Amino acid sequence: MSNTHDIPPQRYDDAPDDSGLWDAPPSFTRTPPQSLEAEQAVLGALMSSTGAARQFLERTLETGITAEEYYRPAHGTIHRAICALHDAREPVDPVTVAQALAEQGELAKVGGPAYLHACVQAVPAPAHGAGYAEIVRAKAYRRAAIESAQKILQYAYSEEGDEADVRSVVEQELTAIAAGMPGLSTAPPTTGDLYLDFVSELEDIQNGRKIGLPYGFADLDAVTAGMKPGNVTVIAAQSGVGKSTLALNAAVAAAKTGARVMFSSLEMSSTELMQKIVAAEGRVAMHHLTRQGGLTADGWKTVERLGRDLFKTLPLRVFRPDNAALRDIESAARASVRDGGLDVLVVDYLQLVEVEQHRGTTREQAVAAVSRGLKNLSVQLDCHVIALSQLNDDGMMRESRAIKNDASILIKVERPDLNEPESPRAGEVDFVIEKNRFGPTATVTVAAQLHFSRFVDMART
């Protein structure tokens, strides 16, 4: 039994009637593929995703659904009104959509305000709007495939043209339907198309107008040319050496330039991260921030100054997910893109991130899936990803092969004095660049000021 709300029976005659239903072409002898329930659900999800739930509207539109993909033209009309309101950054709900349609003289044609409310009532869950949209798009693609096939059949039966003409019609129709397949886009650009943009970017790089975002260490930035969108830096270290400190130092350094940064921590709480930033930026010893009565009057003044001069404007987000699932990190990253943009994503750390596993999946395969997921995310969101990885006691990266393959830059953090308190290199830390797609491998030595939760260039010490 259908649960479609208030949609009149379908008709397939030669002219549209007042119901606004799509008239099937003569070639259709059966009901074309369609799901009016899914169409109503999409529109309902779009009109009920307001306030905190606006993310569901964004996710639904990100599927690429268009007004032309609806089977019922009235639904396409409603979709266009919704998109116009969204593009104008106006609220999207049954009242605003009804007003927009009334101004266009289309409200009565689509069924009036009552039908808009019926669509909202018909949606099972606004959060599933993207799924409903994919159903609508899949049905539209099938209808388009049927139409193309019918055109080929009609031309073949017509006896018109010669063999070359038939081949031309077939190629045109098949190309058109393949280009319209959900998920497919136009052909990739040629090197000729890319050349002028390449030269322009090359000039910017050579003249110093375009460089990667800084890690915050002069020699490291010089060797790697900074953090670039669409790439991944892996920071690997044994527990307690300082990989989280390096990542947080780099996140703050990038954010100070105006870059939009999200630090996703699966190990530390938001309070711990804030303590580390205050210690590093205010040169307040960590143990003064973590014990009762540890802050002096000057220490409190430093905390207040940082709140006013740094934290109030620093474009750094801290994400502490309830679960350690990759999909949660991806969702938060996409939300950051929608809410101002995202240039750097930090994930602390790889081995703690969970992915959906099938029976028989090994731990190495699971970590490889996380690594590949973050690499894909860096490309999709055009941001740089810093992914932290744990080293075992022998200095080997766990599940290392896939992580190394996905990394553009691999930095191992090593402390020569970790097991030698009397080492002549006490207080020094090596950033060993084992992989670098943008330059040579090298070792950069910095000073460790871990009581301030930071590393600094040797010259600054």
Asked if pLDDT for residue 434 goes beyond 80, the answer is yes
For 305-334, how does the pLDDT look when each residue is reduced to its tens digit (9 = 90+)?
Answer: 999 989 999 999 998 887 778 888 888 888
The pLDDT > 90 percentage for the chain reads 38
- Tell which wins on pLDDT, 416 or 15: 416
Distances in whole angstroms, Cα of residue 70 to Cα of each of 56, 67, 117: 19, 6, 18
Q: Report the DSSP beta bridge partners of residue 455.
A: 448
- Tell which wins on pLDDT, 420 or 39: 39
Tell me how far apart the alpha carbons of residues 119 and 107 are, in angstroms, rounded to a whole number: 14
- Tell which wins on pLDDT, 153 or 164: 153
For 336-363, how does the pLDDT look when each residue is reduced to its tens digit (9 = 90+)?
Answer: 888 888 999 999 888 888 776 666 667 7
Give the model's confidence band at 436: pLDDT under 50 very low, under 70 low, under 90 confident, else very high: very high
Enumerate the domain spans of the chain: 36-179, 218-460
Asked if pLDDT for residue 422 goes beyond 50, the answer is yes
- Tell which wins on pLDDT, 4 or 262: 262
Could you tell me the pTM of the whole model?
A: 0.61
CB under 8 Å to 103, separation ≥6 — which residues? none
SS3 content of the chain, % helix, strand, coil (to 5): 50, 15, 35
- Tell which wins on pLDDT, 251 or 380: 251
* Mean pLDDT, the chain, integer: 83
Asked if pLDDT for residue 261 goes beyond 90, the answer is yes
CATH topology of domain 36-179: DNAb Helicase; Chain A (1.10.860)
Tell me how far apart the alpha carbons of residues 140 and 146 are, in angstroms, rounded to a whole number: 10
CATH topology of domain 218-460: Rossmann fold (3.40.50)
The reported pLDDT for the residue numbered 416 is 85
H, E, C per residue of 359-374: CCCCHHHHHHHHHHHH
The reported pLDDT for the residue numbered 344 is 96
Tell me how far apart the alpha carbons of residues 55 and 326 are, in angstroms, rounded to a whole number: 18
Q: Which region among 69-73, 250-254, 391-395 has the lowest average model confidence (pLDDT)? A: 391-395
